[in-house]
């Protein structure tokens, strides 16, 4: 009898547990559904409103500055060092300052792995739930998630960095002509080198247009002031490999290179240059703080230019959903102030080239360009298209050596 009673109570408890669990899982689902419906309705209502007024040229409704909320998805932690995320976050901080937003209007999601689709989606959904109107996803691997969520949340803008897709309304990509800054850095390096060998630590090989375009621009800048110099390239085959970046830089120094430039994530190539008593060109942020004894200048992004413009356009209601590809004239890319280590006359040469790029329409990849396998690219009197620069730059300039 006792057994029977206890059995009954236990089964009753189990059933009640199941029941509770069941309702618990159902509840949030319902709320999100209704939330989605509501937001969808709101979106409809607001688009109608803009259609009626017809004032704004943009495709999204204007949002008052006090109400705007900006989400940021970072691949690592912005606090760390000098690299990629750090510069993006400086851009966000700059935008916040330029527009006078307060801290609660910026939502950051840090350390979102770009290979973990669930983590990316969760981070973005959290941003949406916290009321973000525009979400900046700063790394390449976030693009497809952005595209999918842009469809699900039509009233939230997804702006993705360094990719190429766009849906013309609430999903776009932004990137910049970093090669223009690399051209200037090449001038500084070409004037400094004594061995006429420049080293370049590259994250990816020839198949990657972004990296290869950067190498070419650097090589062309160096060639423009020093036709005898060569650019030696070592590929780490990883976007983040501290040990490999050190080893690649050391190998370049061992080959006799005396200026080490880089397109990777850590300041390691520059610290290696400093330890070996040669010079370096940093990337992302001003790396003279990491290797003051070596860095001539650094190729830098100023993302605040884009972030400010994008958020301002949302406030004004002039957001167009078009892809953004800014350059030196916009202030998006530049080099850090030249250090005292630079050769004499570098400032003048750099200033002249900067003027050519920003005022005289020089676009680095102009005219016929000789590659290092003996063929040529481009045509006289024209410049390579943006699609070629971002998508099919798979050749090296003639003074680039892969050894």
Partner 1 sequence: MDIIIKFLVAAVGAGTPLLFGTVGEILTEKTGHLNLGVEGMMSIGACIGFMVGYYTDNFFLALLFAAIAGACSALIYAVLTVTFMANQNVTGLTLTIFGIGFANFIGIFVLNKSPEGTLKLPERITAAMRGIHIPGLSDIPVIGELLFSYSPFVYIGIIIAVICAYYLNRTKEGLNLKAIGENPGAADAAGIKITKVKYINIILGGAICGIGGVYCSMIINGGVWISDNVGGLGWIAVALVIFANWQPSYAILGSFVFGALRVLKYYIPQSVFPFPIAFYDMLPFLMTALVLVISSMRKSGRINLPAALGLNYFREER
Q: List residues near partner 1 by CB under 8 A.
A: 76-77, 79-83, 205, 234-235, 237, 240-244, 246-248, 250-251, 254-255, 266-268, 271-272, 274-275, 289-291, 402-403
Backbone angles phi, psi at 318, to 5 degrees: -105, 15
- Comparing CB distances to partner 1, the nearer of 39 and 247 is 247
- Comparing CB distances to partner 1, the nearer of 278 and 315 is 278
Helix (H/G/I), strand (E/B), else coil: 400: strand
Number of residues that make up the chain: 403
Q: Are 274 and 294 in contact (CB under 8 A)?
A: yes
Q: Are 301 and 87 in contact (CB under 8 A)?
A: yes
- Comparing CB distances to partner 1, the nearer of 135 and 233 is 233
- Comparing CB distances to partner 1, the nearer of 250 and 313 is 250
Helix (H/G/I), strand (E/B), else coil: 27: helix
In whole angstroms, the minimum distance from the beta carbon of 82 to partner 1 comes to: 7
In whole angstroms, the minimum distance from the beta carbon of 235 to partner 1 comes to: 5
In whole angstroms, the minimum distance from the beta carbon of 211 to partner 1 comes to: 12
In whole angstroms, the minimum distance from the beta carbon of 247 to partner 1 comes to: 5
The alpha carbon of residue 270 and the mean position of all alpha carbons in its chain are separated, in whole angstroms, by 21
- Comparing CB distances to partner 1, the nearer of 110 and 318 is 110
Number of Cβ atoms within 10 Å of the Cβ of 54: 7
The token pair that represents 201 in the structure block? 């630590």
Beta-bridged to residue 202, according to DSSP, are: 235, 263
Tokens 């230019």 appear where?
305
Q: Are 180 and 357 in contact (CB under 8 A)?
A: yes
The token pair that represents 63 in the structure block? 């949002």
- Comparing CB distances to partner 1, the nearer of 214 and 244 is 244
In whole angstroms, the minimum distance from the beta carbon of 341 to partner 1 comes to: 16
- Terminal C-alpha separation, the chain: 86
In whole angstroms, the minimum distance from the beta carbon of 285 to partner 1 comes to: 9
In whole angstroms, the minimum distance from the beta carbon of 83 to partner 1 comes to: 8
- Comparing CB distances to partner 1, the nearer of 82 and 172 is 82
Q: Are 244 and 213 in contact (CB under 8 A)?
A: no
In whole angstroms, the minimum distance from the beta carbon of 400 to partner 1 comes to: 12
The token pair that represents 244 in the structure block? 């490999």
CA distance 306 to 323: 11
- Comparing CB distances to partner 1, the nearer of 62 and 202 is 202
């Amino acid at each position: 009898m006792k057994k029977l009673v206890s059995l009954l109570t236990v089964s009753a408890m189990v059933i009640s547990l199941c029941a509770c669990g069941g309702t618990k899982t159902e509840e949030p689902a319902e709320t999100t559904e209704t939330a989605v419906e509501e937001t969808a309705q709101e979106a409809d209502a607001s688009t109608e409103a803009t259609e009626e007024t017809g004032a704004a040229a943009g495709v999204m409704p204007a949002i008052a500055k006090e109400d705007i909320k900006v989400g940021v998805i970072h691949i690592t932690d912005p606090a760390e060092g000098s690299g990629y995320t750090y510069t993006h976050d400086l851009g966000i901080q700059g935008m916040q300052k330029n527009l006078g937003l307060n801290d609660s209007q910026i939502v950051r999601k840090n350390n979102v792995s770009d290979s973990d689709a669930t983590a990316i989606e969760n981070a973005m959904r959290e941003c949406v739930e916290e009321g973000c109107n525009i979400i900046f996803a700063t790394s390449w691997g976030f693009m497809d998630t952005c595209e999918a969520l842009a469809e699900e949340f039509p009233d939230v803008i997804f702006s993705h960095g360094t990719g190429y897709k766009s849906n013309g309304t609430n999903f776009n990509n932004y990137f910049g002509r970093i090669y223009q800054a690399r051209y200037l850095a090449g001038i500084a390096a070409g004037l400094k080198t004594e061995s006429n060998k420049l080293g370049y630590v590259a994250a990816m090989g020839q198949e990657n247009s972004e990296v290869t375009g950067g190498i070419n621009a650097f090589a062309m800048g160096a060639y423009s002031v020093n036709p005898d110099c060569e650019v030696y390239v070592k590929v780490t085959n990883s976007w983040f490999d501290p040990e490999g970046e050190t080893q690649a830089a050391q190998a370049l120094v061992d080959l006799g290179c005396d200026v080490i430039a880089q397109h990777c994530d850590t300041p390691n190539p520059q610290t290696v240059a400093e330890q070996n008593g040669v010079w370096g060109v940093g990337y992302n942020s001003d790396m003279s703080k990491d290797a003051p004894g070596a860095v001539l200048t650094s190729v830098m992004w100023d993302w605040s230019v884009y972030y400010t413009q994008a958020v301002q356009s949302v406030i004004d209601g002039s957001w167009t959903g078009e892809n953004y590809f800014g350059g030196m004239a916009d202030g998006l890319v530049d080099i850090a102030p030249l250090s005292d280590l630079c050769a004499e006359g570098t400032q003048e040469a750099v200033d002249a080239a900067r003027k050519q790029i920003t005022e005289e329409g020089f676009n680095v990849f102009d005219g016929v360009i000789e590659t290092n396998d003996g063929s040529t690219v481009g045509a006289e009197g024209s410049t390579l298209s943006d699609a070629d620069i971002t998508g099919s730059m798979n050749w090296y300039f003639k003074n680039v050596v892969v050894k």
